[in-house]
Structure 1
Amino acid sequence: THGHAINWPIPQGNQATDLPTYPFQHQRYWINPTSNSRTNLSGAGLSATGHPLLSAAVELAGTDTHLFTGRLSLQSHPWLADHAVAGTVLLPGTGFLELALQAGHHVGCGTVEELTLEAPLILPERGGVDVQLNVGAPDDSGRRELNLHSRAQDADSDEPWTRHATGTLASAQQPLGPDAGLSAWPPAGAEPVEVEGYYDRLAEQGYGYGPAFHGLRAAWRRGDEVFAEVSLPEEESAAAADYGIHPALMDAALHALGLGVLPAAGEGRARLPFSWSGVTLHAAGAAALRVRVGPLGDAEDTVSITVADPAGAPVATAESLVVRAVVTAQLEAAGSCVHDSLFRVDWVTPPTGSSSVEARRWAVLGPDPLKVGQSLEETGATVFAADDLDSVAMLDTVPDVVVVPYAPQPAGADKLAARVHEVLYGVLELVRGWLADKRFADSRLVLLTRDAVVTSPED
């Protein structure tokens, strides 16, 4: 069965033996799918999509709504392990686009009109992630809403799903523009760009691209535009025919953005796809591409993309792609196992109005912008002001309650994340010191704040 030559040495003195006159008797041990087999999607009332990332599809009766399901893991899709940012393996933004394109093809929508990525889909080292892609019924213009959720493969039934992307599918394809084809190659007036060592430079910026995503072969620049040749490695090129456009190939096309189209994200940040608009797939199964990317208007984070096959025939066009810089530390935290712990966040609103204070001895730690000490004294409580925990512990009698006020401080949008990290790390250090000091074993620590906005997972 594998084309090996067979060599059966025959010792001297042996003679040929006649074969039996009846057929060989044999018994099959293969598992044959049946209509009631659990391994057969049709037996479960589902349709097989034939796509590597989406396994099954079902139309919800009476609604013209379609549900697509799949399971992603590094074991079933090992090439995904080659896409990591800050050491965290993510489904590439082009993977979300491929899922949307395939869902649109299934329901007769040729264009992904809008696709906004809300949260990264992190792939665990072990186990898989279940994916559900819901496509709504068409409106009067033929548009369908799209929502993509995921949940850990082994999650309990009451575990919430995470929404990663929302968008709109359009029934009509976007018309090809005059420059949709890239037959003249390299384009006139374009100057070569050195790509040797490019992936080493990306690795220094936190992009952990493996061999499957090392697709950039050559590049040219003409003004603000960058042209590139990308292709899948030999190990992945055979699978390209199973995709509309292989996510690793399309992701390699986006690597041209770092060759002068967009400014660098800055230290501790990485640029990731955020929102696609007007994406149409004109030909499927490509293993190599010619690429054109260029800025769109005056926006420094928005580009248009055109990709063609090696002959210059159109493969896909994207009217616009918006990329956003993310803090890589947030990806590292999201990829840790902390989210699997038993801790949950709950926001409890205390009753309003004045009430008696049970504890007789109180301490207010640090600055008191919320005037906690004054409010407590008005109730008749004994209140001590202290600069740090050591000062509190040195009192003759350790207070029953130690209050640490945190008042919101104005911060611009660009500094808000840094301010949040600064405060939270300070709180973490404070709590660790409190728990490690036996002198506070009979006391209670209260962290007091106000005007905080807590959003639910649904928001």
Structure 2
Amino acid sequence: PDSGGVVLTGRLSVEAQPWLADHVVLGRILLPGAVLVELALAAGEAVDCATLEELTLATPLMLSERGGVQVRVIVGPRTAERRTVTVYSRPEGTRQDWATHATGFLTETVAETAPAGLDEQWPPVGAETLSVEAAYEVFRERGYGYGPVFRGLRAAWRRGEELFAEVALPEEASDEAGRFGLHPALLDATMHAAILNDSTDPGHEDDGGGTVIPFAWNDVSLHAVGAAAVRVRIATAEDGGMDIRVADVTGAPVLTVGSMVGRPVSTEQLGAVPGETGALYGITWVPDTGKSGADARWIPWNEVADAAGAVPDVVVLDCGAADAPGASDGSVGVPVGVRSVLDRVLGVVQEWLA
């Protein structure tokens, strides 16, 4: 109240929004950049700002198969018809610091509404058909594990530097389209023709076949809500990003994106899912660097205490077999056998260190 800003709160989880599990990048459930855009546009609607002037990814948001994240979208006070917008999250049930996922600006300016060429003859005159039959198998090789809801690419064409596509939600998700400005799975799929073009056009200079995610969105305006099937035109923006125009099946404008710039992402950059500590123990293979060589000595556990001379760099201990009462067939029960070996090794380690 004292600043004129607005705070919008919510919750995201795979359990509550199962379709989010269909967006997998490099083996992790990654919140689509299209969801961040949807959240920012919804915040803009709450403060009468029709255009998302800019939204830049700060940190990817990974989701776990269980549990959820608290979300806050904070809109700053109006300054010269412009407001800041920031998207935060943290694992629910914790007091961890809030992570910043996207920052940007909202403005009252309304963007151009005419999606060039989408209200004319369709498919576009002079456009070359691109095969989409194996598109999602190709995408998987590039690190995109799209599930059914995100497999919206139905047809694609190329005309010079322009790309055109037909994109639709599957039947099971189309009923939810009215709950969004533009369903994030549908917005995400509007860019799949570009991935297909990069993957199949040998003359196209792309990022080298890597995995690219949206990094910066500019001049995003929503003109109609609730679309379940759309036409798309993608051209090159002045900054080198993708100029995206989206219309419904009649050619009426739905969404315009002045520019969407992507950036390559790696598994290391995605990191761990917030709130997931992972396994307490794990197996790590350590390569033999050759240091052991002739210095390595096999020492039976019962001879360790009698080992004399200089301590070598490497000592290999034969732990022996499990020695514990077992089942009626003479086999050693697994828990009891494991404990017996661990007890023995612990004794040997303590004696050796002493």
- The TM-score with structure 1 as length reference comes to 0.59
Number of the residue aligned with 2:260: 321
SS of residue matched to 1:285: coil
Alignment pair present for 1:274 and 2:211? no
- Matched to 2:142, the amino acid is Q
Alignment pair present for 1:334 and 2:272? yes
SS of residue matched to 1:334: coil
Alignment pair present for 1:105 and 2:45? yes
SS of residue matched to 1:202: helix
SS of residue matched to 2:190: helix
Aligned CA distance change for structure 1 residues 229 and 176 (closer, same or farther; 3 Å)? same
How many angstroms does 1:296 deviate by? 2.2
- Do 1:180 and 1:317's aligned partners in 2 also have CA atoms closer than 8 Å? no
CA distance in 2, matches of 1:74, 1:114: 27
Q: 1:85 is matched with which residue: 4, 21, 25?
A: 25
SS of residue matched to 2:132: coil
Aligned CA distance change for structure 1 residues 188 and 62 (closer, same or farther; 3 Å)? same
Q: 1:146 is matched with which residue: 85, 102, 105?
A: 85
Q: 2:233 is matched with which residue: 292, 301, 304?
A: 292
- Matched to 1:95, the amino acid is V
- Do 1:183 and 1:313's aligned partners in 2 also have CA atoms closer than 8 Å? no
Aligned CA distance change for structure 1 residues 180 and 152 (closer, same or farther; 3 Å)? farther
How many angstroms does 1:87 deviate by? 1.5
- Do 2:113 and 2:223's aligned partners in 1 also have CA atoms closer than 8 Å? no
SS of residue matched to 2:195: helix
Aligned CA distance change for structure 1 residues 439 and 186 (closer, same or farther; 3 Å)? farther
- Matched to 2:167, the amino acid is V
- Do 1:180 and 1:306's aligned partners in 2 also have CA atoms closer than 8 Å? no
Q: Identity rate of aligned residues, in percent?
A: 46
Q: 1:121 is matched with which residue: 61, 67, 71?
A: 61
Alignment pair present for 1:191 and 2:116? no
CA distance in 1, matches of 2:212, 2:277: 24
CA distance in 2, matches of 1:218, 1:229: 5
Number of the residue aligned with 1:74: 14
CA distance in 2, matches of 1:69, 1:319: 28
Number of the residue aligned with 2:344: none
CA distance in 2, matches of 1:438, 1:317: 69
Number of the residue aligned with 1:229: 166
How many angstroms does 1:398 deviate by? 9.4
CA deviation map 1:198-254 (0-9, x unaligned): 111111222110110110001111001110000000111011011000000011101
Aligned CA distance change for structure 1 residues 224 and 162 (closer, same or farther; 3 Å)? same
SS of residue matched to 1:172: coil
Aligned CA distance change for structure 1 residues 277 and 311 (closer, same or farther; 3 Å)? same
Aligned CA distance change for structure 1 residues 220 and 181 (closer, same or farther; 3 Å)? closer
- Matched to 2:88, the amino acid is H
CA distance in 2, matches of 1:330, 1:138: 34
Number of the residue aligned with 2:342: none
- Do 1:240 and 1:287's aligned partners in 2 also have CA atoms closer than 8 Å? yes
CA distance in 1, matches of 2:114, 2:196: 24
- Do 2:129 and 2:158's aligned partners in 1 also have CA atoms closer than 8 Å? yes
CA distance in 1, matches of 2:58, 2:21: 21
How many angstroms does 1:289 deviate by? 0.5
Number of the residue aligned with 1:161: 98
CA distance in 2, matches of 1:99, 1:275: 15
SS of residue matched to 1:122: coil
Number of the residue aligned with 1:53: none
CA distance in 2, matches of 1:245, 1:255: 16
- Do 2:115 and 2:245's aligned partners in 1 also have CA atoms closer than 8 Å? no
SS of residue matched to 2:188: helix
- Matched to 1:244, the amino acid is G
Task: State which structure, 1 or 2, has the greater radius of gyration over its C-alpha atoms.
Answer: 1
How many angstroms does 1:316 deviate by? 0.6
- Do 2:91 and 2:274's aligned partners in 1 also have CA atoms closer than 8 Å? no
CA deviation map 1:304-328 (0-9, x unaligned): 1000000000101011000011113
- Do 2:115 and 2:256's aligned partners in 1 also have CA atoms closer than 8 Å? no
SS of residue matched to 2:49: coil
CA distance in 2, matches of 1:153, 1:183: 48
- Do 2:21 and 2:147's aligned partners in 1 also have CA atoms closer than 8 Å? yes
Aligned CA distance change for structure 1 residues 78 and 178 (closer, same or farther; 3 Å)? closer
Structure 1: unaligned runs, 5 residues or longer? 1-60, 343-386, 400-436, 443-459
CA distance in 2, matches of 1:71, 1:136: 21
- Matched to 1:334, the amino acid is A
Aligned CA distance change for structure 1 residues 201 and 135 (closer, same or farther; 3 Å)? same
- The TM-score with structure 2 as length reference comes to 0.76
- Cα RMSD (Å): 2.8
Alignment pair present for 1:133 and 2:86? no
